[in-house]
Amino acid sequence: MRNAWSGILAIVGGLWLIVLAGLPLYVFPAVDDVAPSDVALVLGPPMEERLALAAQLRDDGVVQRIVVSVQPAGGQTADDIPLCDEASVTCAVADPYSTRGETQLVDAGESVIVITSTPHVTRARYLFDKCHAGGVAVVAAGGPETFSAWASQYAYQSAAFVKAIAQPCP
C-alpha cells in the first residue's frame, strides 16, 4: 500500500511540475512590444481576435500589410474571411501547413508582428527566430477559455515544441 501511495504522489508531483514549468511558456508568455513593422502575420487558425488586432495595427499605421494564414479547405479559408478581400491583405495557405510553414509566408528580411494565441506565443517566437531572417515581434490575441482547452493546449504545445526543435526550417 505504501508503494502505491508513493507512486501516486510521484505522478501527481510530476504533473504539478509540468504545470508549473508550463506557466511561463503557455499561460504567461513574454509578449513583445509592438513597433512599426513591414507586416502583421495572423497565424492560423485565423480567429476573430487575431484578425481584429491585425486590422487595428494596419489602421493605426503600425504595419502597411497584413498576411493571414488560412486553411486550405473546410472553413477559415480565404473565401470565408472578409478581411481577405481588402487591399493590402494577402491570405495564403502555408506549406507545410504548420507554424514552421507560416514562417515562409513573409519575405526574408521583413520585420513582422506575429499574431497568435497566448499558449502559442513562445513556440511561435522560437520558430520565427529559427526560420525567419527579419525582425520579429510576437503578440497574443485570444486564448483558451476553459480548463480542458488549457490542458489540451499544454499537451499540444509541448509536443509541437519537441517537433519544432527536431525539424529543420523549410
Low-confidence stretches of the chain (pLDDT beneath 50): none
C-alpha cell at 113: 508582428
Domains of the chain with bracketed CATH: 27-166 (3.40.50)
pLDDT at 5: 75
| Residue in 161, 159, 153 with CA at minimum distance from that of residue 27 | 153
pLDDT at 63: 97
pLDDT at 117: 94
The whole-angstrom separation of Cα 118 and Cα 42 is: 13
The whole-angstrom separation of Cα 67 and Cα 134 is: 15
Q: Which residues contact 19 (CB under 8 A, 6 or more apart)?
A: 154
pLDDT at 20: 67
Q: Which residues contact 103 (CB under 8 A, 6 or more apart)?
A: 127, 128, 130, 131, 132, 169, 170
Q: Are 115 and 136 in contact (CB under 8 A)?
A: no
Which class for 142: exposed (0-12), middle (13-18), buried (19 or more C-beta within 10 A)? middle
The whole-angstrom separation of Cα 53 and Cα 76 is: 17
pLDDT at 25: 67
Regarding pTM above 0.85, the answer is yes
The whole-angstrom separation of Cα 115 and Cα 73 is: 21
pLDDT at 142: 85
pLDDT at 14: 66
